[in-house]
Amino acid sequence: MAQTSTRDRIVITAARLLQRQGYVGTGIKQIAREAQATLGSVYHFFPEGKEAVAVAAIKHGDQEFSALLRAALDSEESPSAAVNACARRLAEALRESGWVDGCPITAAALETLGSDSEIQRVCAAALRAWEQLVYDKLLRSGLDAEDAKDLASTIISTLEGAEVTAQVNRSEEPLRAAGRQLARLVGSYDKASNLRDRPSCT
């Protein structure tokens, strides 16, 4: 962290703080302090002010989360096991952070719902990107396009919600339960085709 550029330190620190305290709860002076930068540096790199810092930070969090999701999805071949792996990795990361580092965008997204700020748009884009990752995995596994669309949306929603529930309860269990149930749900689409092809049950 000492050899990273000042700009990177600001973005990374802002991402962590936004994720934990939300947009309004995070001061630009706090970002500067914890990033070991000065207020002048922050406004030098982000002359448009706080919102620009937040947008960059959310994009950073988006990519980090995408990487985690991609790794988990690629770690298992079957889509149901892959989805379960996502939930398990999220649970692990959440516990290790002391239940504070959850979804990088939820808090900021909820606070800026009323306003039509740029923050809204990057959050929406992040959600869409994550859904696309899941969607692609499901398609590669041979699911119907329409089924995959509904499923991918639900999987992201469930992971999102289970993460919040896990944070509030300070427990991995909501995420683990969500992983199990999502695996069962995804598996039910496989089984449907299995049943169709199985000669003993038609």
Partner DNA sequence: CACACTCTAAAACGAACGTTCTAACTAGTA
Partner DNA sequence: TACTAGTTAGAACGTTCGTTTTAGAGTGTG
From the list DNA, its own copies, none, partner contacted by residue 89 (C-beta under 5 to 8 A by kind)? none
From the list DNA, its own copies, none, partner contacted by residue 177 (C-beta under 5 to 8 A by kind)? its own copies
Give least dist CB 15 to its own copies, A: 15
d(CA 155, CA 59): 21
From the list DNA, its own copies, none, partner contacted by residue 140 (C-beta under 5 to 8 A by kind)? none
Angstrom CA distances, 7 to 35, 42, 191, stand at 9, 8, 50
Give least dist CB 47 to DNA, A: 7
Q: Which residues bind its own copies (CB under 8 A)?
A: 20-25, 99-100, 102, 106-107, 109-111, 113-114, 120, 123-124, 127-128, 149-151, 153-154, 156-165, 167-169, 173-174, 177-178, 180-182, 184-185, 188, 201
Give least dist CB 101 to DNA, A: 20
From the list its own copies, DNA, none, partner contacted by residue 30 (C-beta under 5 to 8 A by kind)? DNA
Q: To which residue do tokens 């934990």 refer? A: 20
Of residues 42 and 160, the one with the C-beta less far from its own copies: 160
Residue 28 · residue 42 · CB < 8 Å: yes
Residue 167 · residue 102 · CB < 8 Å: yes
Give least dist CB 18 to its own copies, A: 11
d(CA 62, CA 56): 10
**For the stretch 163-179, what's the b/e string if a residue is b when 16 or more beta carbons lie within 10 angstroms of its beta carbon?**
beebbeeeebebbbebb
Q: Which residues bind DNA (CB under 7 A)?
A: 6, 26-30, 37-41, 43-45, 47, 49-51
From the list its own copies, DNA, none, partner contacted by residue 27 (C-beta under 5 to 8 A by kind)? DNA
Of residues 78 and 157, the one with the C-beta less far from its own copies: 157
From the list DNA, its own copies, none, partner contacted by residue 117 (C-beta under 5 to 8 A by kind)? none
Of residues 41 and 120, the one with the C-beta less far from its own copies: 120
Taking the alpha carbons of 186, 187, 188, 192 in that order, is the dihedral positive or negative?
A: positive
Let me know if 103 is exposed, middle or buried by CB neighbors in 10 A (0-12, 13-18, 19+).
buried
Residue 103 · residue 17 · CB < 8 Å: no
